[in-house]
């Protein structure tokens, strides 16, 4: 089989309940609803972490965050500007994997796997990059806190990168999504005659949300809903482009989100419990839609367990690329789930890490919580009967608890558990550089579009 094109769309903090095809009555998402109707919608799809940097590192490498040193960043949950840590070049991203397999590769949007030159997308197999190297609330913004290093008040100006150079500082955030999709379309047109991999990582719906007037008009869910509709519009643009170029039958498009919603300002993880940053279902279970006309049957849904880490080996299989044999990869090829109605999940268990603490484990229908925020606990939920984790049945199923405890112990031995002082036997170090520096510094003479963003929202 010829190598298919791959388009991976990753949103920022989009919740499980934010799309029409996942039950939202607040946001209009006709393009994504159509994408689901034409393809496969995952009911039980998980990110590797409930926050940005570890989730993205896991997605890109096919590994649980602690496996690649991405559990925490010198005590911080995500990477900050100029921190000097990131995804080391020794890690193999899906960009590198597909590039080595002959793909042309572009990343557009939020990276958040390290902002020092060694860690940028262009050092991880992407031919080109256009986007923000970290979160859109890490620039100069109303109410900005002191940077973690304490050296300068607030964060440095938000950099917009073209490849590995700062193209603009403090760009107009409202127009970025339209610029992102234009760049994506330009790439698809230019590479339409050979296999390509596009990784589009939206800045929406991470706070603060700046959105163009065109989406605000008529949005029924305020600024948040307008941003969701902007995501939907970009999906329509990309799908239209693929159809126009005759690439529908040779392109796999996957849509997902890096973690659950904060559940403030209009976002929803309904019907799941919890929010971004937690190991309740709402933190890590996210929308995922896969579309490939002719290969993936239309209007399908699967409740089999799958994770973002599975995309790495799945894309490898589709591209005919060998998986690296010198390291553990946690993801599994979910091609069978994509193409076959009756395929079972390749996963015996899913592990919910918050930083380097194992907080929960899922096996089949059962989810056992073993810690929350550094404190030991025991709660058992039957996710088939109780997706909202509302009825703790830990005392009714001691046999299930014992079985899941044993599975959790296996994960701890391999991946570690900081809360219990366990170092994993099979973990690789985070990348570090000496003498890191932020990509920008504030210069009063620079013609900023906004020297300081006026919205104070962050998160």
Cβ-based nearer residue to Mg ion, 308 or 427: 308
Cβ-based nearer residue to Mg ion, 27 or 53: 53
Cβ-based nearer residue to Mg ion, 284 or 368: 284
Helices (H) and strands (E) in the chain, counts: 10, 18
Which window, 178-186, 244-252, 254-262, 448-456, contacts Mg ion (CB under 5 A)?
Answer: 254-262
Task: Determine which residue in the list 6, 10, 12, 329 makes contact with Mg ion, applying CB under 5 A.
Answer: 12
Q: Is 112 a catalytic residue?
A: yes
Asked whether 425 and 414 are in contact (CB, 8 A), the reply is yes
- Please name the residues in contact with 432: beta carbons below 8 A apart, sequence gap of 6 or more: 84, 85, 88
Give the nearest distance from C-beta 21 to Mg ion in angstroms.
21
Give the nearest distance from C-beta 14 to Mg ion in angstroms.
8
Which two structure tokens, joined as six digits, stand for 78?
């995500």
Give the nearest distance from C-beta 316 to Mg ion in angstroms.
25
Which two structure tokens, joined as six digits, stand for 457?
């929202």
Give the nearest distance from C-beta 55 to Mg ion in angstroms.
7
Q: State which H helix or E strand residue 122 sits in.
A: none
Residue 13 makes contact with Mg ion by CB under 5 A = yes
Cβ-based nearer residue to Mg ion, 141 or 302: 141
Q: How far is CA 35 from the centre of its chain?
A: 19
Residue 259 makes contact with Mg ion by CB under 5 A = yes
Q: How many residues bind Mg ion (CB under 5 A)?
A: 5
Which window, 227-235, 255-263, 292-300, 301-309, contacts Mg ion (CB under 5 A)?
Answer: 255-263
Which window, 5-13, 358-366, 404-412, 426-434, contacts Mg ion (CB under 5 A)?
Answer: 5-13
Cβ-based nearer residue to Mg ion, 283 or 431: 283
Residue 137 makes contact with Mg ion by CB under 5 A = no
The secondary structure of 162-201, three-state, reads ECCEEEEECCCHHHHHHHHHHHHHHHHHHCCCCCEEEEEE
Buried b (16+ CB within 10 A) or exposed e, 361-390: bbbbebbbbbbbeeeeeebbbbbeebbbbe
Cα(261)–Cα(269) distance, rounded to whole angstroms? 6
Task: Determine which residue in the list 258, 281, 330, 357 makes contact with Mg ion, applying CB under 5 A.
Answer: 258
Q: Is 52 a catalytic residue?
A: yes
Which window, 13-21, 81-89, 189-197, 285-293, contacts Mg ion (CB under 5 A)?
Answer: 13-21
Give the nearest distance from C-beta 346 to Mg ion in angstroms.
26
Q: Which residue among the candidates 11, 63, 112, 113 is catalytic per the annotation?
A: 112
Cβ-based nearer residue to Mg ion, 83 or 261: 261
Beta bridge partners of 373: none
Q: Which residue among the candidates 52, 63, 263, 288 is catalytic per the annotation?
A: 52
- Please name the residues in contact with 7: beta carbons below 8 A apart, sequence gap of 6 or more: 188, 197, 198, 200, 238, 242, 251, 252, 253, 254
Cα(335)–Cα(35) distance, rounded to whole angstroms? 18
Give the nearest distance from C-beta 114 to Mg ion in angstroms.
16
Buried b (16+ CB within 10 A) or exposed e, 131-150: bbbbbbbbbbbeebeebbee
Residues 32-91 that bind Mg ion (CB under 5 A): 52
Task: Output phi, psi for 206, to 5 deg.
Answer: -65, 145
Q: Which residues of this protein are in contact with Mg ion, per CB under 5 A?
A: 12-13, 52, 258-259
Q: Which residues are catalytic?
A: 52, 112
């Amino acid at each position: 089989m010829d190598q298919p094109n791959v388009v991976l769309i990753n949103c920022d903090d989009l919740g499980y309940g934010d799309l029409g095809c996942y039950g939202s009555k607040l946001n209009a998402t006709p393009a994504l609803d159509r994408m689901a109707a034409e393809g496969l919608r995952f009911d039980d799809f998980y990110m590797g972490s409930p926050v940005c940097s570890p989730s993205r590192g896991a997605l890109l490498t096919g590994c649980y965050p602690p496996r690649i040193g991405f559990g925490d960043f010198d005590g911080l949950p995500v990477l900050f500007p100029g921190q000097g840590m990131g995804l080391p070049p020794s890690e193999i991203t899906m960009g590198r994997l597909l590039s080595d397999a002959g793909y042309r590769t572009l990343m557009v949007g939020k990276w958040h796997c390290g902002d020092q030159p060694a860690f940028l997308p262009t050092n991880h197999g992407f031919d080109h990059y256009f986007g923000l190297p970290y979160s859109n609330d890490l620039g100069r913004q109303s109410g900005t806190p002191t940077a973690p290093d304490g050296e300068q008040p607030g964060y440095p100006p938000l950099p917009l990168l073209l490849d590995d150079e700062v193209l603009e500082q403090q760009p107009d955030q409202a127009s970025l999504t339209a610029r992102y999709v234009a760049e994506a379309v330009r790439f698809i047109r230019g590479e339409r005659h050979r296999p390509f991999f596009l990784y589009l990582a939206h800045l929406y719906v991470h706070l603060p949300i700046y959105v163009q007037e065109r989406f605000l008009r008529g949005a029924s869910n305020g600024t948040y809903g307008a941003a969701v509709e902007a995501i939907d519009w970009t999906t329509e643009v990309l799908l239209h482009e693929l159809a126009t170029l005759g690439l529908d039958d040779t392109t796999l498009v996957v849509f997902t989100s890096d973690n659950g919603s904060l559940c403030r300002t209009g976002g929803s993880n309904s019907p799941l419990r919890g929010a971004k940053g937690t190991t309740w279902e709402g933190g890590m279970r996210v929308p995922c839609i896969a579309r490939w006309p002719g290969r993936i049957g239309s209007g399908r849904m699967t409740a089999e367990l799958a994770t973002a880490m599975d995309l790495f080996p799945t894309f490898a299989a589709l591209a005919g690329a060998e998986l690296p044999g010198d390291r553990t990869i946690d993801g599994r090829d979910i091609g069978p789930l994509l193409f076959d109605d009756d395929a079972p999940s390749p996963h015996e268990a899913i592990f919910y890490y918050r930083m380097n603490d194992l907080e929960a484990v899922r096996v089949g229908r059962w989810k056992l919580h073993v810690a929350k925020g550094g404190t030991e606990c025991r709660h058992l939920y039957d996710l088939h009967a109780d997706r909202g984790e509302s009825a703790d049945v830990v005392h009714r199923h001691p046999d299930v608890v014992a079985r899941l405890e044993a599975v959790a112990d296996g994960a701890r031995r391999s991946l570690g558990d900081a809360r219990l002082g366990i170092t994993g036997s099979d973990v690789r170090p985070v990348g570090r550089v000496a003498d890191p520096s932020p990509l920008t510094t504030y210069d009063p003479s620079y013609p900023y579009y906004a020297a300081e963003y006026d919205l104070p929202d962050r998160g």
